[in-house]
């Protein structure tokens, strides 16, 4: 139910890389998400406000932005859980170019996916015997832990290594590579191991675990990156790459 008495102040980033915050007074509604709140602003106050969303149910990873300084998925974040002193600050994700208002250009993020060979690559020749995928297989479990990423970019925006080293592939791309390295039906190795150990590779990770702290799905990219470090180290020492 809408509480007609109570309003909160929402500071929203307006403009591109250069811009400023604009304040909106919006009614505080129980069980309202940040995305609901933005929709209210766009429909009733300023229809020029730009923000990105698609599924609204935490599956597509489109709606991430910084809420009070921290990257979050806004479709599953309740205003009541993050509002401070009746104020909210909404900004575009860090470490990505701002297109307009709360919309960032995700191209660098997905380019790094490609750099890390984040695509599934089947065998060049027809497979005569299919590899059985057993749920209790240890390697499969490693792939399963990493595979649920929805590419919202929260980890990438939270990563201080990405901030200091723009060449760094980032937690999401490396996590994706780790899921494929553990996929028995993928045939891109050892090329993928080379791809994740270049200048911007897994060795740059400081293990600060900001990505773990900010992942809305509670995935653990830091553990995936640690797995990559070990796999690349062993392959290097054995002379395989």
Partner 1 sequence: MSNRIEFKLWLAHRLSGMALGLFVVVHLAGMIIAIQGGLSSAEILQRTSGNYALGVFYSLFTIAAATHSTIGLRTVAREVIGWSGISANFFLIIFFLFLCAMGISAVGGLVL
* Partners of 25 in the β-ladder: 9
Comparing CB distances to partner 1, the nearer of 57 and 237 is 237
Give dist(CA 62, CA 40) in Å, integer: 18
C-beta of 134: minimal distance to partner 1 in Å? 32
Who's near 129: CB < 8 A, 6+ residues apart? none
Comparing CB distances to partner 1, the nearer of 68 and 233 is 233
Look up residue 196 and give its two tokens: 């994740």
C-beta of 60: minimal distance to partner 1 in Å? 33
Comparing CB distances to partner 1, the nearer of 77 and 197 is 197
C-beta of 225: minimal distance to partner 1 in Å? 12
Residue 101 is given by DSSP the state T
Comparing CB distances to partner 1, the nearer of 182 and 197 is 197
C-beta of 232: minimal distance to partner 1 in Å? 6
124 CA to centre of own chain: 31
Q: Which residues bind partner 1 (CB under 8 A)?
A: 164-165, 194, 197-199, 201, 203, 232-233, 236-237, 241
Buried b (16+ CB within 10 A) or exposed e, 60-83: bbbbbbbbeeebbbbbbbebeeeb
């Amino acid at each position: 139910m809408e509480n007609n008495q109570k309003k909160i102040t929402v500071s929203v980033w307006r403009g591109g890389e250069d811009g400023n915050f604009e304040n909106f007074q919006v009614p505080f509604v129980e069980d309202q998400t940040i995305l609901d709140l933005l929709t209210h602003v766009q429909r009733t106050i300023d229809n020029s406000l730009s923000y990105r969303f698609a599924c609204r149910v935490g599956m597509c990873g489109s709606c991430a932005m910084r809420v009070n300084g921290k990257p979050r998925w806004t479709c599953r974040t309740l205003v009541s859980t993050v509002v401070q002193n009746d104020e909210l600050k909404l900004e575009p994700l860090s470490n990505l170019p701002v297109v307009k208002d709360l919309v960032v250009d995700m191209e660098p993020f997905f380019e790094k996916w490609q750099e890390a060979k984040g695509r599934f690559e089947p065998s060049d020749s027809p497979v005569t015997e299919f590899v059985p995928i057993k749920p209790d297989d240890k390697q499969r479990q490693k792939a399963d832990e990493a595979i649920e990423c929805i590419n919202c970019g929260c980890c990438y925006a939270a990563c201080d290594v990405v901030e200091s080293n723009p060449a760094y592939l980032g937690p999401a791309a490396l996590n994706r590579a780790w899921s494929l390295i553990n996929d028995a039906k993928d045939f891109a190795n050892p090329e993928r191991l080379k791809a994740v150990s270049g200048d911007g590779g897994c060795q740059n990770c400081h293990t600060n675990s900001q990505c773990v702290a900010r992942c809305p799905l509670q995935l653990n990219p830091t553990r995936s990156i640690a797995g990559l470090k070990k796999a690349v180290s062993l392959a290097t020492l054995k002379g395989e790459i």
